[in-house]
A and B are shown apart, each in its own frame.
Chain A
């Protein structure tokens, strides 16, 4: 049982740290991507006109 307890503790802690880093990255660069997406859609719309 000790093996399983250690495994799940590790999975939980490593997972939380990795998710923390990912959340910061996505928050910063996701905002930049939204600007890009809206610009792309606006450009397509203008071309269609």
Chain B
């Protein structure tokens, strides 16, 4: 704590900046209250009455997918991996463009006019798979979201230079309270409206901070320092000795695909679009932001590295000194860097932009997981007893419950890997099974209920890729720290992920061929 306090003390954040941030927060809450008047039924609440057009779709997709947690984990990857991390953003952008051009999965889902992905499972594979898939999705999604709050609050503490010991906890509680308020009030309508405002503020902040970082450090100097300190591994992701490697790049390619085509918050935008043509355009235009949302924060992380290397005290704090003392979490590097190079006023604007990013991600995720629990777990179980008004109320209750749950996870879960790798694994618990179910369900007629259940179970095995889970399980059977470390370097998260993908697809195919459905589903008209 003392080390952190001394490192963040030099921030330029002032009362003027607090004023800018406060104005922004009041505006966001006002939008929630305003949007509440337009919520008539569950469809309005979850997909804004399917009335969203392209430009707004791009704004809201960007607002959701470029969250503060994205900025934090990407900056951390840039700090530790250098320019080689750019491959993740590039692949992500290219795959979003592929989805936009082909409409792979998303346009067919939009054609089905479902509210959520598990609702499609229900139509294609039956009610049991809908409920099971809904629970799996919500479990993986909420676990995945568990670190959002902490990472976002670390940014605020790092950039504002809060000195109080309980600052992180206070920031987490306040931010969560604000998001819960306007999400509960206005559902998807307030999410879309705030996403738009957040897109505008965020874009402006992004350009300003990047420009100032280059101005302060010098374009050529940034490259010179990275070359001198890290060498080729900071540029070539498949170089010998790189922290990435070929299997990591392959895993990132799969993640890039599922991030656009399967990740429920991204798909929710496709389902809220007014037509299939809008869905395609939305993804085509958003391919730029799918790339930029990673590349710009990577660059900030790299700039933070260059900045840290130039100041001995910071270098000791983040990289470590000769005495082998404990170093600070590299997640703090980027906010500390920005806090020290940005001038008064600009730093407030950027913080407002980042809080915007934080809120736009949280509101969408909270709404998404709670919609799934209402629509795909409670509704199939309760049937006619759950009225439209009751469903909206239940969704609001789930929003609050999930909020409290992620606050709890933030306190208890020990983050042992890079934040991005944690998110990739926890997300995989859901999306690996979902990939098999959706791809086969939409494009392969023999796909059956039995195959779907097998694939969902196989996908959940991805949790074994988490270093904390591996450590816990191997610890039970008597492995010491060194053997656990060696085990993880062989069965790394990306290898476990790729193996789980192959297993889920195999389960889907073999299960469907062994136990076919008696009455196969042939699309919406057939239902």
Provide the B225-261 mask, 1 if CB < 8 A to any CB of A, else 0.
0010001100110000000000000000000000000
A12–B299 touching, CB < 8 Å:
yes
* In the complex with contacts A5-B235, A20-B207, A27-B200 CB distance below 8 A: yes
A1–B199 touching, CB < 8 Å:
no
B285–A22 touching, CB < 8 Å:
yes
Nearest residue in A to B56 (C-beta to C-beta)? A33
Max count, chain A CB within 10 A of own CB: residue among B84, B210, B291: B291
Size category of the B interface is 35 or more
Stretch at the interface among B44-52, B368-376, B486-494: B44-52
Give the chain B neighbours of A48 by CB distance below 8 A. Answer: 40
B51–A37 touching, CB < 8 Å:
yes
Of the candidates A15, A30, A44, which one forms a contact with B59 in the assembled complex, judged by CB atoms under 8 Å apart?
Answer: A30
B295–A15 touching, CB < 8 Å:
yes
Max count, chain A CB within 10 A of own CB: residue among B196, B207, B296: B196
Q: Name the interface residues of A4-33: CB closer than 8 Å to any CB of B.
A: 4-5, 8, 11-12, 15-16, 18-20, 22-23, 25-33
Check if B223 is an interface residue, CB within 8 A of chain A: yes
Of the candidates A4, A28, A45, which one forms a contact with B40 in the assembled complex, judged by CB atoms under 8 Å apart?
Answer: A45
A1–B58 touching, CB < 8 Å:
no
CB distance from B121 to the nearest CB of A (A): 28
CB distance from A37 to the nearest CB of B (A): 5
* In the complex with contacts A8-B235, A19-B292, A44-B40 CB distance below 8 A: yes
A4–B49 touching, CB < 8 Å:
no
Size category of the A interface is 20 to 34
Check if B11 is an interface residue, CB within 8 A of chain A: no
B53–A33 touching, CB < 8 Å:
yes
Give the chain B neighbours of A5 by CB distance below 8 A. Answer: 83, 223, 227, 235
Give the chain A neighbours of B292 by CB distance below 8 A. Answer: 15-16, 18-19
Give the chain B neighbours of A45 by CB distance below 8 A. Answer: 38, 40
Nearest residue in B to A9 (C-beta to C-beta)? B223
Check if B55 is an interface residue, CB within 8 A of chain A: yes
A19–B203 touching, CB < 8 Å:
yes
Of the candidates A22, A31, A36, which one forms a contact with B288 in the assembled complex, judged by CB atoms under 8 Å apart?
Answer: A22
CB distance from A17 to the nearest CB of B (A): 10
CB distance from A6 to the nearest CB of B (A): 10
Check if B120 is an interface residue, CB within 8 A of chain A: no
A31–B196 touching, CB < 8 Å:
yes
Check if B90 is an interface residue, CB within 8 A of chain A: yes
CB distance from B247 to the nearest CB of A (A): 19
Please provide the 7 A-B residue pairs with the shortest distance between their CB atoms, ordered closest to farther.
A29-B55, A33-B56, A4-B235, A23-B203, A40-B51, A30-B55, A33-B53
